[in-house]
Amino acid sequence: MRNYRIANIWGIPIQLNISLLIFLPVLVWLIAATGQIEVYASIIDGLSSAPLDAEGLQEGLNPWLIGTAAAVGLFFSVAVHELGHAYAARRYGIGIRSITLWIFGGLASLESMPREWDREFWIAIAGPVTSVLLAGVFFGALQVVPASLPLVVFVVGWLAVINVTLAIFNMLPAFPMDGGRILRALLARSRSYASATRTAARVGTIFALLFAIIGVLSWNPVLILIAFFVYGTATTESRTTMLDELLTGVTARDVMDTTVRSVSADTSVADFTDRLLRDRQTEFVVVDSTDDVVGFVTLSALKRIDRDIYETTSVREVMETDVPAVEPSTPAFDVLVAMRNGPLVLVVEGDEQIGTVSRRDLGRVMDLRKQLGAGQPFERVAM
């Protein structure tokens, strides 16, 4: 989904995902028209020095003004929560690519995830701590807002309460919430990072199941969506860590195919088909007349065109133009990440193309290390 940059803080792009723009009116409605104002008014009345008239808050356009201000304030609070993570990460020298606000809250995209348990612990807990501190700021403001501004009293009080709620909710031990990362960090003190991730992911799936059950019984669509999101994230986190473990210590040079199989961009698809059968390969680098790489072509590309035009269609017309390139020393896991948009990565040393890495190459290494044990050293074998 598309993101829109709305600000830059500490050099970090703050992005607004389109899903939030769609969800924001729903959130306004949930606050304004589902009885929440009356519920929270009684809580805020006990926190504020200024008495609140719950009936007055619900007259005319007041609920919609409150809902709009509260919804915007909530996502401001989420942004500050994510900035807390960013501040802690920077203290450890970890860069932040961006902070994205979306339907499920916020996401600080770190350039790398720390493997040291104490670093992950402090980065993860910095978000909830920031939310509690922000709640304290709103609580302090609540004491000085005059009773003549009841809408402001309510919104400020609501933000004080909701930031404490945000901190508590994020402490639940389920990925991608901070509590899941805190749990993994604590588990990693006495076991491997991969084992800690698997255990934390299992706990996350249990919480996802609980969210789903509660969401269905209370017919809460938002909670059901959160359940699916938590389950998917916990599963992805576990799988990603397993792949990272299997590829630890392996570089692009270790797994690359040193034969760069290339085909001219002007070759007909018919001739390319003969080449596929002859070489028994399914991925080729595409080069122009000066032997510069201009794309890659695979067997699957041929399935998108009619056989009747194989003779009159060139490889240039069916190739993919985005060919990621890596250095020989690039960790294999980073090669896998670079491969997300295609099946092939070019290995370049200086100006020379020295090999390629395909999903098949990485799959062979992962399968071998899985059978031997991921901790086994990897030695280069000619491919």
Would you say 81 is a known binding-site residue? yes
Question: Which of helix, strand or coil describes residue 60?
Answer: coil
177 contacts 230 by C-beta, under 8 angstroms: yes
314: helix, strand or coil: strand
User: For residues 381 and 246, what is the distance between their CA atoms, to the nearest angstrom?
Assistant: 17
Using an 8 Å Cβ cutoff, are 98 and 119 in contact? no
**Rounded to the nearest 10 degrees, how much is the dihedral formed by the CA atoms of 150, 156, 162, 163?**
-170
What is residue 340's DSSP assignment?
A: G
- Tell me how far apart the alpha carbons of residues 331 and 341 are, in angstroms, rounded to a whole number: 18
Task: Tell me the C-alpha to C-alpha distance, in Å, between residue 65 and each of 105, 154, 164, 208, 318.
Answer: 21, 11, 23, 34, 54
Is 53 among the annotated ligand-binding positions? no
List the catalytic residue out of 38, 82, 116, 283: 82
Whether 120 is a known active-site residue: answer: no
Cα Rg of the chain, angstroms? 27
Q: Is 252 left (phi over 0), alpha (psi -120 to 50) or beta?
A: alpha
As a whole number of angstroms, the distance between CA 357 and CA 215 comes to 45
Question: Per DSSP, which regions of the chain are E strands?
Answer: 3-9, 12-17, 96-102, 105-110, 262-264, 283-287, 293-298, 325-326, 344-349, 352-358
**Pick from 12, 157, 177, 149: nearest CA to 73:** 157
367 labelled as ligand-binding? no
Do 316 and 346 meet the contact criterion of CB atoms below 8 Å apart? Answer: no
Q: How far apart are CA 299 and CA 106, in angstroms?
A: 40
**Residues annotated in a binding site:** 81, 85, 178
Q: Catalytic residue numbers?
A: 82
Instruction: Please state the residue numbers annotated as binding site for Zn(2+).
Output: 81, 85, 178
